[in-house]
């Protein structure tokens, strides 16, 4: 979202009329703590009915000084509000105290203004003022702060009314002590349209984690690392949401079509899904299995990778699924493949399947001599059942009805999870 496309906050049309609850020209006195305030009937009537208008409407109270044992510094904000000024709240404690007194004095309009203004949040040791206009998008509007604010404010009011308290109890704002204020500041910058705030992929991962914690779901989708190429969208597996997945293959299995995906809360046309799996930490969780005897290739996923695949592709039928793993039939004829740091030719899998049967003529002086095919790219891949441990892989998932298979677009792996590869610097 660019800065120019940020939504503009609008307010209800201002109504300058004030009901005649108290005589507008008459001046009334109120002592709040150590300070005396004098307000016109016009100002007091502007947010009515209230405790003030009810008290001064009694004939015997017209000339009295109404006393409140409250903080005059907080009341100054109320004083400005009644005079018709827009008030500026400094921090979360001031907001909390002002809200409590607005309820205490029965100032309905002020409570409405406060709930529609900025959201205050203390993250770590820093207080933030969050413009609500940044959080009006679907996916961001119901977040950690709005839910907690509603609970904190309105639940406390219910307790006050239930126990018939003479004044609000001491209240403190919610403080998030276990999160980083710097990362939250970066989130706000991104919400404002500053996409350059992301420094690197490690920083992006940290920000995504924070966005999920605060339930900024639309923001999360904007920040995830993705590419759109033609009619394809490329994402990391862990960034895929099942909400964005759609299967357009007819249920009669007459067509095999790619799973479609659109990022939730982002207004974009669904595209063919391509997902990346990086499994450097535990290669055993992502394996390509080649069965030379049966001439089939499968991909087996375990651990967190399997859990994520089962979560997001809940309604598909893979080759095999159990509590700990999930397996798919795989096509790799179109894949760019690197095994043990050697780039394979495009036909390597067919050569591997036929390497025990095929013979070729040697083009030399002894034209009659034959030898078995020994392709440089497959000579070190031996056995009837071959397992290749994938460090990185790029996949498209194809559906025929509910039946699913994977099409590999890029593979990088090792024939042993413990194989040490020495690379040139």
Can you give the residue range of the structural domain that contains 63?
3-115
Bridge partner residues of 360 (DSSP):
371
Backbone phi and psi for residue 142, each to the nearest 5 degrees, phi listed first: -95, 95
269 and 398 belong to one structural domain: yes
**Highest mean pLDDT: which of 111-115, 338-342, 375-379?**
338-342
pLDDT at 2: 44
Neighbours of 220 (CB within 10 A): 24
Residue 422 within any structural domain of the chain: yes
Domain membership of residue 92 (yes or no) is yes
Residues 51 and 128 both lie in one domain: no
Give 261's contacts (C-beta < 8 A, 6+ positions apart).
Answer: 233, 235, 240, 244, 245, 246, 270, 271, 272, 273
Question: Do residue 73 and residue 209 come from a single domain?
Answer: no
Together in a domain, 267 and 410: yes
Q: Does one domain contain both 295 and 173?
A: no
Per cent of the chain over pLDDT 90 is 58
Would you give the end-to-end CA distance of the chain in angstroms? 40
Residues 201 and 214 in one domain: yes
Under a CB-based contact definition with an 8 Å cutoff, are residues 331 and 409 in contact? no
In a domain, 281, yes or no: yes
**382 and 240 within one domain:** yes
* 147-177 pLDDT, tens digit each: 877 666 666 666 666 656 556 666 777 788 8
374 pLDDT above the threshold of 60: no
The overall average pLDDT reported for the chain is 85
Same domain, 339 and 268: yes
Residue 155 domain flag:
no
Q: Are residues 232 and 328 in the same domain?
A: yes
Q: Do 287 and 389 belong to one domain?
A: yes
Distance of CA 348 to the CA centre of its chain: 41
The DSSP letter of residue 161 is: H
Non-local (6+) Cβ contacts of 252 within 8 A are 401
Inter-CA distances, 412 with 23, 283, 344, 387, Å = 83, 11, 10, 13
393 with 411: CB under 8 angstroms?
A: yes
Spatial contact of 123 and 148, defined as CB atoms under 8 Å apart: no
- Transcribe 295-354 into DSSP letters: TEEEEEEEHHHHHHHHHHTTT-B-SEE-SSEEEEEEE-TT-EEEETTEEPPTTHHHHHHH
In a domain, 160, yes or no: no
* Residue 157 belongs to some domain of the structure: no
Mark which of 181, 204, 223 sits at the end of a domain. 223
**In whole angstroms, what is the distance from residue 360 CA to residue 346 CA?**
19
What is the sign of the dihedral through the CA atoms of 404, 408, 412 and 415? positive
User: Looking at the domain assignment, is residue 156 inside a domain?
Assistant: no
- Sign (positive or negative) of CA dihedral 310, 312, 315, 317: negative
Q: Do the domain assignments include residue 79? A: yes
Does residue 199 sit in the same domain as residue 339?
no
Convert the pLDDT of each residue in 241-252 to its tens digit: 999 999 999 999
Encode pLDDT of 199-226 as tens digits. Answer: 999 999 999 999 999 999 999 999 999 9
Domain co-membership, 267 together with 385:
yes
The CATH code of the domain that includes 39 is 3.30.710.10
Domains identified in the chain, total number:
3
Residues 38-63 have a mean pLDDT of 94
| Whether residue 376 has pLDDT greater than 80 | no
User: What one-character DSSP code corresponds to residue 119?
Assistant: E
């Amino acid at each position: 979202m660019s800065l120019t496309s940020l939504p503009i906050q609008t307010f209800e049309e201002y109504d300058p009329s004030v009901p005649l609850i108290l005589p507008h020209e008459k001046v009334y006195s109120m002592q709040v703590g150590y300070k005396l305030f004098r307000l016109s009937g016009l100002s007091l009537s502007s947010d009515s009915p209230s405790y003030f208008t009810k008290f001064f409407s009694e004939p015997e109270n017209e000339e009295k000084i109404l006393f409140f044992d409250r903080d005059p510094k907080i009341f100054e904000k109320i004083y400005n509000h009644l005079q018709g000024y827009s008030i500026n709240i400094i921090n979360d404690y001031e907001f909390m105290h002002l809200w409590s007194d607005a309820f205490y004095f029965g100032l309905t309009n002020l409570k409405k203004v406060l709930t529609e203004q900025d959201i205050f949040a203390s993250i770590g040791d820093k207080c933030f003022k969050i413009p609500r206009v940044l959080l009006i998008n679907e996916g961001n509007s119901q977040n950690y702060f709005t839910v907690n604010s509603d609970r904190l404010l309105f639940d406390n009011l219910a307790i006050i009314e239930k126990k018939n308290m003479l004044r609000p109890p001491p209240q403190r704002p919610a403080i998030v002590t276990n999160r980083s204020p710097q990362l939250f500041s970066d989130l706000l910058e991104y919400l404002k349209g500053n996409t350059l705030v992301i420094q690197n992929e490690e920083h992006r991962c940290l920000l995504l984690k924070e966005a999920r914690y605060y339930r900024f779901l639309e923001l999360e989708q904007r920040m995830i690392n993705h590419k759109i190429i033609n009619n394809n969208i490329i994402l990391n597996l862990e960034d895929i949401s099942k909400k964005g997945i759609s299967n357009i293959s007819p249920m009669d299995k007459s067509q095999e079509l790619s799973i479609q995906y659109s990022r939730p809360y982002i207004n974009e046309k669904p595209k063919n899904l391509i997902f990346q799996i990086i499994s450097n930490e535990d290669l055993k969780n992502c394996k390509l299995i080649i069965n030379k005897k049966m001439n089939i290739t499968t991909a087996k996923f375990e651990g967190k990778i399997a859990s994520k695949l089962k979560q997001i592709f809940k309604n598909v039928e893979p080759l095999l699924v159990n509590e700990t793993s999930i397996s798919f039939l795989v096509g790799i004829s179109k894949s760019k493949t690197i095994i043990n740091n050697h780039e394979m030719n495009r036909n390597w899998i067919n050569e591997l399947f036929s390497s025990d049967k095929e013979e070729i003529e040697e083009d030399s002086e002894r034209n009659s001599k034959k030898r078995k095919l020994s392709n440089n790219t497959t000579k070190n891949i031996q056995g009837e059942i071959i397992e290749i441990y994938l460090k990185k892989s790029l996949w498209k998932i194809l559906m025929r009805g509910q039946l699913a298979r994977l099409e590999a677009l890029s593979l990088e792996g090792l024939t042993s999870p413990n194989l040490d590869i020495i690379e040139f610097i």
